[in-house]
Amino acid sequence: MPSVDPRAAEIIATIVEFEDSVAAAELALAVRDWPQIDALLSTQHRLTHALANALDETREARPQAFTDEVHRRIGLISERRADQLRRLIAFNHLVKQRLTMISRTREMRRVNVESRPSARILDTLQ
């Protein structure tokens, strides 16, 4: 059995680590573990560059079947990350809407309560 090219083994290991990171991010999203998500996104950023560099350095030496499989797996990773990003953006918009509503409600309370107290029944009859 021929030995595996060390650069190919590095590419495979990086892809596996990337896939594991995306799966861990999925779990962290489900439980809204924001520090974990932040750490995983940093890891994925590092893995993106490591993978791009390794693929660039081995462009001429890789067999086409290997390259096709790498592109297939990178495509799956990209699809899952795009879905996660879409859900993060939707959650961000939801939180923004809720915070805006809370802010408006507090402002209305300040205007109605602090600047002038509510009228008493006798005050409205005059």
Mean pLDDT of the chain: 86
Is pTM, for the whole model, over 0.75?
Answer: no
Q: Residue 98 domain-assigned?
A: yes
Question: How high is the pLDDT of residue 60?
Answer: 86
Q: Residue 1 domain-assigned?
A: no
Q: Residue 51 domain-assigned?
A: yes
> Taking CA 31 as the corner, what is the angle to CA 30 and CA 32, rounded to the nearest 5 degrees?
95
Q: Looking at the predicted structure, is the pLDDT value of residue 75 above 80? A: yes
The helix-helix angle for 64-109 and 6-31 (nearest 10°) equals 20
Token pair 């959650």 is found at: 91
Length of the chain (residues): 126
Question: How high is the pLDDT of residue 115?
Answer: 54
Q: Residue 14 domain-assigned?
A: yes
Domain region containing 10: 6-125
pLDDT in tens, 46-71: 999 999 999 999 888 888 999 999 99
Q: Looking at the predicted structure, is the pLDDT value of residue 117 above 80? A: no
For the stretch 88-103, what's the b/e string if a residue is b when 16 or more beta carbons lie within 10 angstroms of its beta carbon?
Answer: eeeeeeeeeeeeeeee
pLDDT in tens, 77-107: 999 999 999 999 999 999 999 888 888 887 7
C-beta separation of 17 from 49 below 8 A: no
For residue 1, name the pLDDT band (cuts at 50, 70, 90): very low
pLDDT in tens, 28-46: 999 999 999 999 999 999 9
C-alpha distances out from residue 36 to 7, 13, 29, 40, 81, Å = 30, 22, 9, 6, 15
For residue 125, name the pLDDT band (cuts at 50, 70, 90): low
Q: Residue 114 domain-assigned?
A: yes
Q: How many domains does the chain have?
A: 1
Least Cα distance to 77 among 30, 116, 7, 19 occurs for 19
